[in-house]
A and B are shown apart, each in its own frame.
Chain A
Amino acid sequence: MKHAAFLPRHALQILLDALSGEGYRVVGPRVRDGAILYEELRDVADLPAGWRDEQQPGQYRLERTDTQRSFAWAHGPQGIKPLVFRPRESLWRVHRSADGRMAFSASIPQDPPLAVIGARACDLAALELQDRHFLESIRDPSYAAHRAGLFIVAVHCTHPASTCFCVSTGDGPRAGKGFDLALSELDEGYLIEVGSERGAHIARMLPLQLSSDEQREQAEAEIAHAAALQTRQLPGTNLRDSLFANLDHPRWREVAERCLSCGNCTSVCPTCFCHAEQDLPSLDGQSAEHVRQWDSCFSEGHSTIHGIVIRAETGQRYRQWLTHKLGSWHDQYGRSGCVGCGRCITWCPVGIDLTEEARAICGPNGEGAT
């Protein structure tokens, strides 16, 4: 943050306007239905100033605070994943003419590029993993289209929830990379860092001032404080071997007695990539749209082949989720699939804590006490 400039609080609107002026549709955090969601944002007055989120296993509540700050909260149920890997999206359409001939046409997204304000470090780490999944081996055209246009304004996290453990995964609370601009929120305004050429282009449109030593120290101290506040942690950064050595651990059956197999955890996880394809025929039978939508390894259909359900039991599904997320991700993408956001803990209706389950199965040091 050595070279961070200062943006006065009232000038944040200029950033929104600059992004709009460059053709971006701006989305940012707003309070809706009792949660903080990324929605269209035209006016900084719509930011969740004076709100913070109280998160516990199985619990999420917004509370009023007396702060002027707009980003004094951890995160809502969704990060930025839905902006690039859409919950539901058309892949292609087919038209069948009277003589039975079929014409297929790809559905390539046409919507304007998005700029997101307030992305968190955990979600940027997750985005990097999603990029690898959807772009590296075989390029996903829809994801690529959304991703190419995405402009990211990160805000370093200063108010982690009790369910957060990004320090333990090494992904936060500071947003280290993957952003165009990054902000540190102070009472009087923002420190702003540039992370890309596009970010520099936008920054040149802002009424930036020199930041003071005190401001930079304050910002650093708040990020360090956010790290120190976190109490949860995983019992190791690579649990692959101990998880796969414990496929018959009694804990899988025990957690299955609590788990509802509802799929909330996978729906809020910023790295989960599973999706199902579905064909939607028109009423006249002449055309059909082929769509994909998010799927979950907790659903019965996820593992079904010609009438056989490979994971019929909840314990097998929880084991699939945990051995993949914390285990086989290492082989697939060189790191754990968990970025420590803790959303799966908060949004689990029965409050199952992934860190606790990992510790029960892998032992306190992650070395697989069987």
Chain B
Amino acid sequence: MNPYLPREAEIVERIQETPTVFTLRLRLTDGQPYGFEAGQFNMLYLHGVGEVPISIVAGGEADGLLTHTIRAVGRVTRGMMALRAGERIGLRGPFGRGWPLAAAEGREVVVVTGGLGCAPSVSIIHHILRHRERYGRLTILQGVKHADDLIWRTQYEAWSRQPEVRVLLVADVASPGWQGAVGRVTALFDRIELDAAHAIAMLCGPEGMMLASAAALEQLGLAAGDIYLSMERNMQCAVGHCGHCQFGARFVCRDGPVFAWPDIRDLLGVRGF
């Protein structure tokens, strides 16, 4: 198997979430099966421009479509935002190690996300809701810089109506009609009850937010080894060869992107790593 060779994927549906965030729902045209674990990512290829690593929001459901939610920030993603349904891109994956969903069984789960960090975490929520009886209470904390950055409002509302699910939203800057809290995501930790001895936390977002959240969760009594973080670094090959994503000895693309907090806490927050 050639780990570098993309497969062709057709854009079946395209959703503009915010002026800079869009979702592509993709169908692999080769008809071959595709499986992934929550928290893994794909490399998406725009013809003539290049590849980008994008987390997998959802896939493998009844319609067989793969969902990616993308922010237009670079050459590839800006070009991809201009694509329409029916157009084709390249896709290879899945890559990396995902969320510890097996280890989380029988426990209370806290999902803490910031900004578009919500995208790599949706698969956790989907998995837990599909296998509701295997997990305890689910708490979802999502923070955004500006209230208008929040995507999937109706999705959060729907999740909050599920049994044993709490959703708390927070924005640094509120806008008219904002019903969530105002401030940083860490401000929400005062407002949740947690059975810390039986909880596991999964974090995804800016590093400052993850550092502050991991510290706050430890304060609440969570064991460091029960806190998991999804990391982001420059990734080009996705198989631990190109060297860009190295974080100390770890290749984020292959050994991560999800890491247990004790495995990366020595370097996380050190400028330049």
Interfacial residues, chain A to chain B (CB-CB below 8 A): 91-92, 94, 96, 100-106, 133-134, 137-141, 244, 247, 273-279, 281, 285, 288, 290, 292, 295, 297, 301-307, 310-311, 313, 315-317, 319-320, 323-324, 328-332
- Would you call A288 and B47 a contact (CB within 8 A)? yes
Please choose the segment from B154-162, B164-172, B197-205, B246-254 that sits at the chain A interface, where 4 or more of its residues have CB less than 8 A away: B246-254
Please choose the segment from B1-9, B60-68, B104-112, B214-222 that sits at the chain A interface, where 4 or more of its residues have CB less than 8 A away: B1-9
Is B271's beta carbon under 8 Å from chain A? Answer: yes
Q: Assuming the A-B contacts A104-B8, A137-B254, A310-B272, are A279 and B49 also in contact, with contact meaning beta carbons closer than 8 angstroms in the complex?
A: yes
15 example contacts (A-B, Cβ-Cβ < 8 A) are as follows: A92-B6, A94-B6, A94-B47, A100-B87, A101-B8, A279-B49, A281-B49, A297-B243, A302-B234, A305-B234, A313-B272, A320-B273, A328-B249, A329-B249, A330-B249
- Would you call B241 and A133 a contact (CB within 8 A)? yes
- Would you call B254 and A106 a contact (CB within 8 A)? no
Q: Assuming the A-B contacts A244-B266, A247-B270, are A281 and B48 also in contact, with contact meaning beta carbons closer than 8 angstroms in the complex?
A: yes
Question: Which residue from chain B places its CB closest to the CB of A252 in the assembled complex?
Answer: B272
Interfacial residues, chain B to chain A (CB-CB below 8 A): 2-8, 29, 45, 47-51, 71, 73-74, 77, 86-90, 232-234, 236-237, 239-244, 246, 248-249, 254, 266, 270-273
In the bound complex, residues from chain A placing their C-beta under 8 Å from that of B240 are: 137-138
Other-chain residue from A102, A140, A305 in contact with B241 (beta carbon distance below 8 A): A140
| C-alpha spacing A106/B169, complex, angstroms | 46
- Would you call A324 and B246 a contact (CB within 8 A)? yes
Q: Assuming the A-B contacts A138-B239, A281-B47, A328-B248, are A102 and B272 also in contact, with contact meaning beta carbons closer than 8 angstroms in the complex?
A: no
- The B interface is mostly helix, strand or loop, or mixed, namely loop
- Would you call A138 and B241 a contact (CB within 8 A)? yes
- The A interface is mostly helix, strand or loop, or mixed, namely mixed
Question: Which residue from chain A places its CB closest to the CB of B75 in the assembled complex?
Answer: A279
In the bound complex, residues from chain A placing their C-beta under 8 Å from that of B51 are: 277, 279
What's the least CB distance linking A77 to chain B, in Å? 21
| C-alpha spacing A96/B29, complex, angstroms | 14
- Would you call A310 and B273 a contact (CB within 8 A)? yes
Question: Which residue from chain B places its CB closest to the CB of A91 in the assembled complex?
Answer: B4
In the bound complex, residues from chain B placing their C-beta under 8 Å from that of A247 are: 270
Other-chain residue from A103, A320, A332 in contact with B272 (beta carbon distance below 8 A): A320
Question: Which residue from chain A places its CB closest to the CB of B238 in the assembled complex?
Answer: A138
Interface centre among A278, A323, A330 (most CB of B within 10 A): A323
Interface centre among A247, A275, A279 (most CB of B within 10 A): A279
In the bound complex, residues from chain B placing their C-beta under 8 Å from that of A101 are: 8, 29, 88
Given contacts A100-B87, A275-B236, 20 further A-B contacts (CB under 8 A): A92-B6, A94-B6, A94-B45, A104-B7, A105-B5, A106-B5, A244-B266, A275-B243, A277-B237, A278-B50, A281-B48, A288-B48, A290-B4, A297-B243, A305-B234, A306-B73, A319-B272, A328-B248, A331-B248, A332-B249
